[in-house]
Amino acid sequence: MTSLWADENHFAQIPYLDFESDRFLDRKSQNNDAKKHKNLTSLGSQYPRFNGEYGVQHPQTLDESYYDSLEDASLSDRNKDQVVYKWFSKYLVDKNDKPKLLMANQLWLWKLGDGTVITAFPDRWHDGPEHTVYEAIRQDIPNHVLKTSDMLIEYLMSACVTFPHISSNVRLGFDILDTFESWVGLLSCQEVTLFRDFRNFLKTSPKEERGSGATHLSITEEVGLTYELRDVVDELFILNRVCTTQKDLVKQHLQQRHKKRQGAQSGEQLKGETALEHVGRFIEHTERLEDKAKKVIENLDKLVQIKQAQSALHESRVATVEAERAHRLNNYIMLFTVVTVVFVSSSPKAPLIQNTQSTYTQNSSPDRQ
């Protein structure tokens, strides 16, 4: 993200959050005759993604906005593992709706001189009742008196910051972070369940423990849950990064306006100041959710350590039981051997053998000869 605030000429890349349907994931393989789809496909195939010097601005998912050096296959896997996408896939009530993807697009803005402002931003791939950034601005801007280009720029920044939180723009019925709150709550509930199952396992008798130890001491579920939570933390970090960039750009512009003392006489709160308050609350919310997710990860790590210690104890118990069993078996074998020897020595065959040996001795004596 770059920004250059000069007295006459401005350039800024203002990030904003948006949504796409899941058809965005298969956009390159779709066969759609719609003119809009053809134009987007043509632009994407003819021009590379903007690299700072050359290219066009492509729509980008939340992960793509940060992991821009990854291959398409890796990005596709990350997109399908997005929290918002998984949440919609799990809780979508209306089957006619499609799961949504959280996007992190940019509005590019140039100010040329004192009276010309040029903007550019990517279009959505799907058609729906939701407003795009352009539609939202076009419908709302007549309600404001924007006397200078700086006031217009401030309005556009504010529109980008608040855009995804207006229900008519995304048609969600809830805030973006509500999905993260719900998902972290779901994973936290699963963590409590794992602790409960392990507690119940510890209450079992040693005999029952030997039979179920391999199942209850497995850490497969903990590892999978930790992966899910680390993905949540990663996405919250990217969200925080986007909002922090918004906050910094708005601050820069407000500082420039205050130098010019514009808007001070009107007695009306500047749009940029309202946007700063809004993005500040959003950042605080992401940080709270991030702390909560990290706390659950710490708890899972403790549970894994306890399970590994219990597993070692379990293996020691099993080894002791097996050793005792082998010792008893040796005793049984020894007893069986002794009984067999005694039984053989006391059987009727024993005198016969003795008599035979006595007869042989008598016949072999010198007197007999």
pLDDT digits (tens, 9 = 90+) for 234-244: 999 999 999 99
Handedness of CA 287, 15, 173, 19 (dihedral sign): negative
| Averaged pLDDT score across all residues of the chain | 78
DSSP string, 196-239: HHHHHHHTS-HHHHHHHHHHHT--HHHHHHHHHHHHHHHHHHHH
| CA atoms within 13 Å, Cβ hemisphere of 292 | 19
What are the beta bridge partners of residue 61? 103
> What is the pTM (predicted TM-score) of this model?
0.77
Q: Which of 132, 143, 111 is nearest to 16 (CA)?
A: 132
Pair of tokens at residue 180: 């993260």
φ/ψ of residue 104, rounded to 5: -125, 80
pLDDT at position 144 over 60: yes
Phi, psi of 65 (to 5 degrees): -70, -20
Q: How far is CA 277 from the centre of its chain?
A: 28
Structural contact between residues 48 and 137, judged by C-beta atoms closer than 8 angstroms: no
Single out the residue of 44, 223, 208, 11 nearest to residue 123, CA to CA: 44
- Written as one letter, the residue type at 58 is H
Q: What is the largest CA-CA distance in the chain?
A: 152
Coil, strand or helix at 108: strand
pLDDT of residue 325 exceeding 80: no
Predicted local confidence at residue 267, as pLDDT: 43
pLDDT of residue 111: 86
